């Protein structure tokens, strides 16, 4: 073998090794990409299944609520009275258990009576021809105490700033009521038109709790602290809190007493309401059939006066917040919806949010 042939033969082996290494790297990259693509397809399939299951959960909740509404209407027609919405209803107990599918999906449905929270839109009554009337003195005084309660409970995570509960209460009422003149006589829009970007006071019922953050004197931090207490549904309802479904922290908001001497509920009053509910009794302001176990406002510590906003109890609740959370293995999807079953012919979907 010549020197030239030997030299050429010595280059072949390294070249073969380099090519083999490149091919191995390409194959490894291809296998890895195939595995990743397979996982992506699998996760997308699980996500689609979980999303479909969550949407199905809203349909199940709607059917349960509509059936409950129909059965209570039949009860009213036959007995002349209705038990109203309570935590003993099927819809209220659905969240305690999960539903499982034969293919491994899990679904949990939670339904909350919208009137189990304080309806901000009840602060400004609707007058004739749909026009809002002026808010009452009780509305302002209640809001002052409520805002002060929330501020006292807040853990300020940012630099402490001054909040004025009475000014905040008046600004919120002005933002909702129909006119453009503030309670103090100034133009309501003077503040809002000076914002970036400018906007105007709504002068209508609030469409969401988040809208509170747009009101003069409020911010996102205060709004989030108020959220667990509040709802805006039904949008034009004047009904107060349904104390038969309200959580303990909301029961503390029941404003009671006689005119000029009203106050928020004490811990003792809240405890009495919870004890009555534990014995499957309901708070009633209207006479009920003898088979319904009722306790009066005075029997649970709300005295002989009234509660604000007025509530006819047992309450005929028609709007409900629904959360359907579905999981397929480690993939979770949820849908939140607000459903109105006030129409006996067909439920209405008021809002929908998929996560």
Mean pLDDT in residue range 219-248: 93
* Whole-number CA gyration radius for the chain: 30
Look at the block and give the residue holding tokens 């004890």: 275
| Token duo for residue 158 | 């940012």
Domains and CATH numbers, the chain: 1-117+315-355 (3.30.1300.30), 118-237 (1.10.40.60), 247-310 (no CATH)
Residue 109, classed as helix, strand or coil, is: strand
Share of the chain above pLDDT 90, in %: 53
Strand order in the sheet with 261-264: 261-264, 255-258, 306-308
Sequence-distant (≥ 6) Cβ neighbours of residue 24 within 8 angstroms: none
- Report the distance separating Cα 318 and Cα 295, nearest Å: 23
| pLDDT of 67 | 92
Model pLDDT, residue 335: 96
Cis peptide before 191 (omega within 30 of 0): no
Q: What pLDDT was estimated at residue 347? A: 92
pLDDT surpassing 80 at residue 51:
yes
Q: Is the pLDDT of residue 81 over 80?
A: no
- Position 157 scores a pLDDT of 52
Highest mean pLDDT among 3-12, 211-220, 259-268, 338-347: 211-220
**Are 127 and 133 within 8 A, CB to CB?**
yes
Which whole-number Å values give the CA distances from 115 to 28, 76, 284, 332, in the listed order?
Answer: 60, 20, 15, 29
pLDDT value, residue 239 = 87
Give the pLDDT band (50/70/90) at residue 182: confident
pLDDT tier at 261 (50, 70, 90 boundaries)?
confident
CB 86 within 8 A of CB 314: yes
3-state secondary structure 263-315: EECCHHHHHHHHHHHHCCCEECCCCCCCCCCEECCHHHCCCCCEEECCCCCCC
pLDDT tier at 16, thresholds 50, 70, 90: low
Separation CA 110–CA 98 (nearest Å): 10
Looking at residue 259, its pLDDT comes to 76
- At 185, is the pLDDT very low, low, confident or very high (cuts 50, 70, 90)? confident
Average pLDDT, the chain: 85
- Check residues 213 and 104 and name the one with the higher pLDDT: 213
Q: How confident is the model at residue 74 (pLDDT cuts 50, 70, 90)?
A: confident
Q: Is the pLDDT of residue 250 over 60?
A: yes
Q: In 10 A of CB 179, how many CB atoms? A: 12
Instruction: Give residue 322's pLDDT.
Output: 97
pLDDT tens track for 290-344: 667 888 898 998 887 788 888 888 888 999 999 999 999 889 999 999 999 988 7
Q: Are the C-beta atoms of residues 265 and 253 closer than 8 Å to each other?
A: yes
Of 70-84, 112-126, 163-177, the least confident: 70-84
What is the average per-residue pLDDT within 13-33? 67
Range scoring the smallest mean pLDDT among 99-103, 133-137, 144-148: 133-137
pLDDT tens track for 28-50 = 666 666 666 566 667 888 899 99
**What's the pLDDT at 6?**
52
Q: Which of the residue ranges 34-43, 90-99, 102-111 would you say has the lowest mean pLDDT?
A: 34-43
- Compute the average pLDDT of residues 344-350: 88
**Both tokens assigned to 134:** 């002026």
C-alpha–C-alpha distance, residues 59 and 246, integer Å: 24
């Amino acid at each position: 073998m010549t020197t030239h042939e030997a030299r050429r033969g010595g280059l072949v082996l390294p070249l073969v090794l380099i090519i083999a290494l490149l091919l191995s790297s390409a194959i490894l990259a291809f296998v890895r990409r195939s595995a990743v693509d397979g996982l992506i397809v699998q996760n997308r399939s699980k996500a689609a299944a979980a999303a479909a299951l969550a949407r199905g959960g809203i349909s199940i909740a709607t059917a349960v609520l509509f059936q409950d509404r129909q059965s209570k209407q039949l009860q009213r027609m036959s007995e002349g009275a209705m038990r109203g919405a309570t935590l003993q209803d099927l819809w209220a107990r659905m969240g305690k258990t999960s539903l499982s599918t034969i293919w491994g999906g899990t679904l949990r449905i939670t339904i909350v009576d919208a009137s189990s929270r304080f309806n901000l839109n009840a602060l400004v009554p609707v007058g004739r021809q749909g026009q809002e009337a002026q808010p009452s003195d009780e509305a302002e005084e209640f809001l002052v105490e409520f805002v002060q309660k929330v501020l006292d409970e807040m853990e300020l995570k940012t630099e402490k700033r001054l909040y004025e509960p009475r000014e905040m209460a008046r600004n919120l009422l002005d933002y909702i009521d129909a006119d453009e003149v503030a309670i103090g006589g100034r133009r309501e829009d003077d503040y809002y038109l000076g914002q970036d970007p400018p906007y105007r006071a709504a002068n209508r019922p609030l469409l969401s709790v988040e809208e509170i953050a747009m009101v003069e004197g409020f911010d996102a931090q205060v709004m989030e602290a108020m959220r667990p207490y509040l709802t805006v549904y039904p949008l034009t309802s004047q009904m107060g809190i349904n104390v038969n479904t309200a959580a303990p922290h909301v029961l503390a908001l029941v404003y009671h007493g006689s005119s000029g001497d009203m106050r928020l509920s004490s811990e003792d009053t809240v405890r009495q309401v919870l004890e009555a509910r534990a014995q499957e009794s309901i708070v009633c302001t209207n006479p009920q059939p003898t088979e319904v176990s009722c306790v009066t406002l005075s029997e649970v510590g709300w005295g002989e006066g009234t509660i604000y906003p007025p509530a006819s109890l047992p309450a005929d609740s028609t709007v409900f917040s629904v959360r359907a959370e579905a999981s397929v293995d480690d993939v979770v999807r949820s849908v939140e919806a607000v459903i109105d079953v006030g129409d006996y012919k067909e439920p209405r979907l008021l809002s929908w949010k998929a996560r």
